[in-house]
Structure 1
Amino acid sequence: MSHIATSQIESFDGTALAVHRLDPDTGEGRPVLLLHGLFSSAQMNWIRFGHAQMLADAGFSAIMPDLRAHGASAAPQDAAAYPPDVLVRDVQALVAALGLAEYDLAGFSLGGRTAAGSVIAGLRPRRLVLAGMGLESLDNWHARSTFFIDAIDRFDTVRSGDPAFFAVQFMKTMKIDRVAARLLLQSVQDMERADLASITMPTLVVCGEDDRDNGSPDALAAALPDAVLVKIPGDHMGSVTKPELGRAIVRSLSD
């Protein structure tokens, strides 16, 4: 494993965001901004299972923020710190602070949703990767957020067999601040399907064969102007552990 450098960057409102970076051994490569999923972290999504190393080995610089209320980033418990689409605003602030011009953007699950929202809001990466995503979670976020907010609210009483059990166990593993996470979930806004027309750059939709947690990846790929769909082994939580995810991202960005 190459050396991972970690820094802190202030977002638009002064909230401290941890940013982890893995460069090729030869020095800086073309930047790829990687956004992790809900209740996860850069370490869990991108570093632990080797995806960032695959990108570095292919000549890319993997830039991996911990989202607000996740990982080593700040998790404020003040509702004012979670305006509508705060994660999109954080990504815009990171791109500006890092001075990224020619870069690629990739995200898994909530990170993928945030990546799509960031493009709709005006960011223009060279290429886009939406992983662990389906069409329905873009314009019906309420259904997904309700499930997770319920898991937070019933955190201490959820037992094995409950649909929320694995979400609660993952929150425990990741030491999630539940107050901050609940506020963050409420800040995420629905998208309009018509807005997907603005996602004009080449896009990889990559999803586990058994993953429909966020809806249909087939429908998402079909709704985008220039998308390719790749399916890899696993369900939602399992697919991110597979080397096929990193390989698919590298192939897509290397074309």
Structure 2
Amino acid sequence: MPLNSYQHPCPGGYQIQAADMLIGGTLGARVNWGDPARDVVITAGHLVNNLNAAVFQPGAGVPGENQRIGHVAGRSPLRTYPSSREFLGTRAETPGQRITCRYDFAYIEVAGDSAATSYRIPGINDTDEPLAVRDPIEGEPVHWLGNTTGIVLGGHVRDLSYWMTMELDPTNAANRQYLSVQPLTLIEVQGTMPTRGGDSGAAVVAVNDRHIVGVHCLGGTTRKGRPFTMASRVPASPQALAEGSSSAGFDEVLTWIARTKAWVNS
């Protein structure tokens, strides 16, 4: 069952929506993040648009039926392209014309709205203490809770340097926008249930030490019928997030494509 009901305070895993976006996603987790640490909610960057936009739970629809959980305080620098081919370009193009993002990440300030959210993630963190954040480790077991799937899914980290181009809003056929993200964390999902649209933003948590190791940003990819999903890493600080894009050479991107094909076809 989708986790799209009103919750007060709202834990991780439930639906949220920025006021300036037509689509919603998942509240990943409320954490103490950055240096110095700040009390924020983390989610996927492609779920928000403008800084300072209000974010509501469960959505930004009818006033009175939703609650404000905070405002967008930071997001990944998102350089978009009208197609994946446009991103790749040609070998003759300068590297600076081919920009990839290191993160698909956003954080929401909860100051003034602190009673609207909690540190809990049902089935993952059932305490009132925030989870710590670290980078993922290849091979480790992880789990997450997305609002559309509505249950805790688990899997294992299989690749720490995966690359994909992702379409920001597949429902907007008149204005296609594709985003390149690298490195992504590739996760092999246990069982046969894939993640679904709307699960983006879910906090990916290590089973062994209960640290957050990423935020879910793209799912549905399969390898021989087995579902895979992808997560963005969590930057160390707002400054690292602001600097989270880089240029890529044509041959470098070709190695990313080969790595992707190798996983899909293996």
TM bin (shorter chain): under 0.3
- TM-score, with normalisation over the residues of structure 2? 0.27
Greater helix content = 1
**Under a length normalisation based on structure 1, what TM-score does the superposition of the two structures give?**
0.28
More strand, by proportion = 2
Looking at both structures, which has the greater relative contact order when contacts are Cα pairs under 8 Å and sequence separation is at least 6?
2
